Structure 1
Amino acid sequence: MAPIVIYTKSWCPYCSAAKDLLQRKGVPFEEIEITGRSELREEMIERADGRTTVPQIFIGEQHIGGCDDLYALDARGGLDPLLVA
């Protein structure tokens, strides 16, 4: 399974929803909390091609996007194949 990384902020409801979906899928993920950590925020923005909102989700080296992108990917059946690849 490709490693999953999710950049979050502690107070973000979209971050919680994205993490909830991944937990329901039973997959481990690395959470990178960027609240008050400008160096990690800059890292996220660079990896996410300039996107500044949280969460930003990566499966392996593939940028999935934010919470809505993750749920849309799951709804069209594209998330599970990425999780087992």
Structure 2
Amino acid sequence: MAKIEIYTKAFCGYCARAKALLDRKGADYQELDVTMDRAGFEAMVERSNGGRTVPQIFIDGKHVGGSDDLAALEAKGQLDPLLGAG
């Protein structure tokens, strides 16, 4: 399986939606909550080339975007291969 990292904040509906999709896929992921973590937030912004909204999702170190981007990959049938499930 791929290494998945997802930057989140508390009470974020988009974060919950992205995690629910990954959970349905049976994917293990590392959640990095940046709600009160300024250094973590800055690291997220740097890694995502300026992305300041959450979630920011990385699969095997590659930035795939946010919740809508993850859902679009799933709709196109491109998520499973990235997760190593296809």
Q: Determine if the TM-score, normalized by the shorter chain, exceeds 0.5.
A: yes
The root-mean-square deviation of aligned C-alpha atoms, in Å, is 0.9
Tell me what 2:65 maps to: 65
Is the counterpart of residue 47 in structure 1 residue 34 in structure 2? no
Q: Secondary structure at the match of 2:31?
A: strand
**Partners of 1:31 and 1:38 in 2: CA distance:** 16
**Partners of 1:11 and 1:2 in 2: CA distance:** 26
Tell me what 1:5 maps to: 5
Is the counterpart of residue 56 in structure 1 residue 56 in structure 2? yes
Q: Which runs of 5+ in 1 are unaligned?
A: none
Q: Secondary structure at the match of 1:53?
A: coil
4+ residue runs over 4 A deviation: none
**Partners of 1:60 and 1:16 in 2: CA distance:** 21
Q: Which runs of 5+ in 2 are unaligned?
A: none
**Partners of 2:55 and 2:61 in 1: CA distance:** 16
Normalised TM-score (structure 2):
0.96
Q: How far off its partner does 1:2 sit? A: 2.0
**Partners of 1:70 and 1:39 in 2: CA distance:** 25
Normalised TM-score (structure 1):
0.97
Identity of aligned pairs, percent? 55
Q: How far off its partner does 1:21 sit? A: 0.1
